[in-house]
Amino acid sequence: MSPNPPSVFLSRLQGLPVLDASGDQVGKVRDFVTQIRMPGRLPRVKGVVVELLAARRIFVPMPRVYSLDANQVSLSGVIDARRFVKRDTETLVYDDLFDRAVTTAGGTAAAIFDVSMRQIHVRQWEINEVALREQLPKRPFSFTARKGAVYTVGWSDIAASVAAADQATDRKVAQLVDMRPADVARELHDMEPERRAEVAQALADEQLADAFQELPEDEQVSLLSSLEAERAADVLEEMDPDDAADLINDLPDDFAEDLLQRMEPEEAADVRTLMQYEELTAGGMMTPEPVILAPDAIIAEALARVRNPEITPATASMVFITRPPTDTPSGRYLGAAHIQRLLREPPSVMAATVIDSTLPTLHPEDDLAKVSRFFATYNLVIAPVVNNSGQLIGAVTVDDVLDHMLPDDWRGDQMDGIDHPGVDLAEEVH
């Protein structure tokens, strides 16, 4: 990407055809969803509202936007066809920003004529400029406003004017947008329950899910219960499957089953699979979505998969090679390839030629003590879990091991600034 990537004015994209991964038109661009952030931070473009050919509007996150130009917008992956519902802290470009009256930093009254966005990372965009139309005073005895000149300024020139209209919750959410999940969790922990529920309701599903995973278990249950059932299911879908399974296990049976029924079938299936195992076992701690490749996949494909920003660093540290199918439970497990080894080999070489077939595997019933010794023995940050049939069913990451080795109340103590210098992790495991 060039140091100064070109900007795209969004009025030019309105109504463009939207194509799916197979090249078929599924709808047209209806709007773009943005999130206003703290002063000094440019608004982030969260996704595009697509009006399907059936006249229903859906939301597509920006990472799903494979490409866009003056002729069309192309999507990748599976499209979530649920109807789009705007959240309180989201701002629509066409509906909410266009023609909005603002005051520039220099005190000039104007109306937003257009806005532009630029790409800052792979499939990540932010609003950077605004085209304004100067607001001229009406002529005497005239009922129509005079149209002034159109000129372009940076978003920062009108940011204060836009922010002045925000409510208290909006401002708080804007503060949280750029925080790490643990810091968002600490902020939620320090709020009164009613305020916490109000802010949680306004946060994006993905950010709330990340923060959920950093909260003490009792607060997770309380906060999830405060959400509407459909929203609670959406948040669970965004959580890591093992964390979602742990949380659902702490809920009343009827509530848990209701949420599982509301989740997307594929996401719910992963959670149900993990719920079959005891919590303090490899099966209960594993993620069912490690990076899995077929034997004929080349290293370039492996590197492309682990480059996905949605994959955690621990999960991206190793790819697993299996016979088809490559979804869990996979075909016969063949071995693992370390990311460092992949980086040292030509991209055109098959990944299967550099696998470590001597690395032992975990069994889903292995307890926490055995899992922790496994990680210590082989200096790993992720380990494969293979069943009696030789199928890869998931992988355990070191962060999940640490979560279960620490005292049950460690998250709550961390929120309150309490340290436990005398905790013996080995004793905790045994």
Question: Helix %, strand %, coil % for the chain, to 5?
Answer: 35, 25, 35
What was the pLDDT predicted at 423?
A: 42
**pLDDT bracket for residue 124 (50, 70, 90):** confident
Better-scored residue on pLDDT, 136 or 394: 394
pTM: 0.62
Q: Are 26 and 7 in contact (CB under 8 A)?
A: no
Residue range 299-309, pLDDT digits in tens = 999 999 999 88
**What number does CATH give the domain 292-404?**
3.10.580.10
Looking at per-residue pLDDT, the higher value among 89 and 21 belongs to 21
Lowest mean pLDDT among 150-154, 285-289, 423-427: 423-427
pLDDT of residue 168: 59
Q: What is the pLDDT of residue 368?
A: 94
The H or E element containing residue 395 is: strand 392-397
Q: Is the pLDDT of residue 345 over 90?
A: yes
CA distance 84 to 91: 13
Q: Is the pLDDT of residue 389 over 80?
A: yes
Which element (helix H / strand E) includes 231? Answer: helix 229-238
Instruction: Give per-residue pLDDT as tens, 304-337.
Output: 999 988 888 999 999 999 999 999 999 999 999 9
Q: Say what the pLDDT of residue 326 is.
A: 94
* pLDDT for the residue numbered 268: 93
* CATH of the domain spanning 179-276, picked from 3.40.50.720, 3.30.465.10, 3.20.20.150, 1.25.60.10: 1.25.60.10
What is the SS3 assignment for 71?
A: coil
Span 190-215, pLDDT tens digits? 888 878 888 888 888 888 999 988 88
The CATH number given to 1-167 is 2.30.30.240
Give the residue carrying structure tokens 């999130």: 35
Q: What pLDDT is recorded for position 333?
A: 96
* pLDDT, position 418: 44
Long-range CB pairs of 153-157, under 8 A, 24+ apart, other chains included = 153/104, 153/129, 154/128, 154/129, 154/130, 155/42, 155/43, 155/115, 155/127, 155/128, 155/129, 155/130, 156/39, 156/40, 156/42, 156/105, 157/104, 157/105, 157/106, 157/130
E strands within 238-391? 292-293, 318-322, 333-338, 382-386
- Give the total residue count for the chain: 430
Please state whether beta strands 73-75 and 17-19 pair in parallel, antiparallel, or not at all (unpaired). parallel
Asked if the model's pLDDT at residue 426 lies above 50, the reply is: no
Q: Which residue has the higher pLDDT, 172 or 151?
A: 151
Per-residue tokens: 256: 């848990």
Which residue ranges make up each domain of the chain? 1-167, 179-276, 292-404
pLDDT of residue 194: 79
Task: Identify the pLDDT of residue 202.
Answer: 82
pLDDT tens readout for residues 93-111 = 999 899 888 889 888 889 9
**Are the folds of 1-167 and 179-276 the same?**
no
Q: What are phi and psi of 176, to 5 degrees?
A: -80, -20
Strand 318-322 and strand 292-293: the pairing is parallel
Average pLDDT over residues 25-43: 88
pLDDT at 67 over 70: yes
CA dihedral 134, 135, 140, 141 (to 10 degrees): 120
Residue 17 has pLDDT above 90, yes or no: yes
- Alpha helix (H) ranges present in 281-352? 282-285, 299-306, 339-343
